[in-house]
Structure 1
Amino acid sequence: MNLDPAKMRTLRVLEVVEHGPGLKSLYFEQPFEAEPGQFVNVWIPGVDEKPFSISDLSGGRLELSVKAYGAFSSRLLEARPGDYLGIRGPFGHGFRLESDAVLVAGGIGLAPIRFLSHRLTARGMAHRVVI
């Protein structure tokens, strides 16, 4: 599905999973294809629009992992299944997929590395993850 990434899409929140205090994953229906390393802009009506890395894109769902950091992310963590948010993207250039990769991440930076690790595994490419 090749759609204009600049076009705002209104997507319904399908599921919200809490991983710990101030850390959740939001799941949306998958509106597009993307590569690990790309990001989307999330728009909360009447609030703002901010970029978020894609945590995963599998099973027909888009996953965004969010950590409460400021006013916008804290507000985003209030989203519930059935809510609608605006999504633009994907933007950016994805990571090159190479075997024997070492993936290093910490904190919420693990989210886009997780997507990359899943894609490398699906392609049978060797890699190590260092947290």
Structure 2
Amino acid sequence: MNNPVMPKPHQILDIIRETNLEYTFRIETDMRPQHGQFFQLSLPRVGECPISVSNFGEGWMEFTIRSVGKVTDQLFSLQPGDELFVRGPYGKGWPIDELRGKHLVVVAGGTGVSPVRSLLNKCAAEPDFVKSVDLICGYKNEDCILFRPDLRRWAEKFRAIYTLDSQVCEGWETGLVTTHISKVPFDYFGDDYAVIIVGPPVMMHFCGLECKKLGIPDEKIWVSFERKMSCAVGKCGHCRIDETYVCLEGPVFNYTVAKDLLD
């Protein structure tokens, strides 16, 4: 009988330094998660943490991790060839069937680009999956930019706006992602579109409000967020908001539900 909370070791194939604080770990695995699902990553006698899948392919999977605590700091001491313990996948991913054939708008900020990265790669690799992609991607400053090769490739495939919160940088817009949502040609899409918003809770909150100002219905908006997901199987209650267990019913939520969950 498979134990849903038993971590298993996986060899680290590569470690990519994205920024001073974020590394992408590629592990060897045959698992094929849904786009947007998460795993629990752990080190024996250290602890574990929930991390969304940032990319995957045949025989490998990637996690982009920010060094923010005991477990993640220790992860950064690992090298290719070492073992990383993993359990999952958990939660609900992006609603692929509902996105198929629509105009897709993605608004992502900071490390929030990670949970939607594999979906964007799918859109780039499969031109018939969606009708079009409008991507708004924002970072705090130049030192925080993740996935530079992907950003260049996405800019060739999608209508892309890349912005830094307050820093002026060649090739980049300036301002919060919320200031650029109105540039998306929603009128052209008619009723055939979907919006994905991923980032810090405060960013998703104000992006949701901006979408509402533009007349975008709640049911067309999807968000993803992680909230203290410790057990990942709905037993510990750390991620619970009222009667909603984020680890089970999320991390992807339709905005009809998410607007009452965001802090």
Q: Which has the higher helix share?
A: 2
Q: Which residue of 1 aligns with 2:68?
A: 69
Number of residue pairs the alignment of both structures matches: 129
Q: Which residue of 2 aligns with 1:88?
A: 87
Q: Which residue of 1 aligns with 2:18?
A: 19
What is the CA–CA distance in structure 2 between the aligned matches of 1:26 and 1:5, rounded to whole Å?
Answer: 22
Amino acid at match of 2:134: R
Q: Which residue of 2 aligns with 1:116?
A: 119
Structure 1 stretches of 5 or more lacking a match?
A: none
> In the alignment, is the contact (CA less than 8 A) between 2:37 and 2:89 conserved in 1?
yes
Verify: 1:129 aligned to 2:135, yes or no: yes
How far off its partner does 1:130 sit? 1.0
Match of 1:106 among 109, 113, 117: 109
How far off its partner does 1:105 sit? 1.1
Amino acid at match of 2:85: G
Structure number with greater CO (CA < 8 Å, separation at least 6) is: 1
How far off its partner does 1:120 sit? 2.5
How far off its partner does 1:88 sit? 0.4
Q: Which residue of 1 aligns with 2:32?
A: 33
Amino acid at match of 1:14: L
TM-score (norm 2): 0.46
> In the alignment, is the contact (CA less than 8 A) between 1:5 and 1:90 conserved in 2?
no
- Considering only CA atoms, is the larger Rg found in Structure 1 or Structure 2? 2
TM-score (norm 1): 0.89
1:113 aligned counterpart, secondary structure: helix
> In the alignment, is the contact (CA less than 8 A) between 1:45 and 1:85 conserved in 2?
no
Q: Which has the higher strand share?
A: 1
> In the alignment, is the contact (CA less than 8 A) between 2:42 and 2:71 conserved in 1?
no
Structure 2 stretches of 5 or more lacking a match?
A: 138-263
How many percent of aligned residue pairs carry the same amino acid?
A: 27
What is the CA–CA distance in structure 1 between the aligned matches of 2:53 and 2:63, rounded to whole Å?
Answer: 5
1:20 aligned counterpart, secondary structure: coil
1:103 aligned counterpart, secondary structure: strand
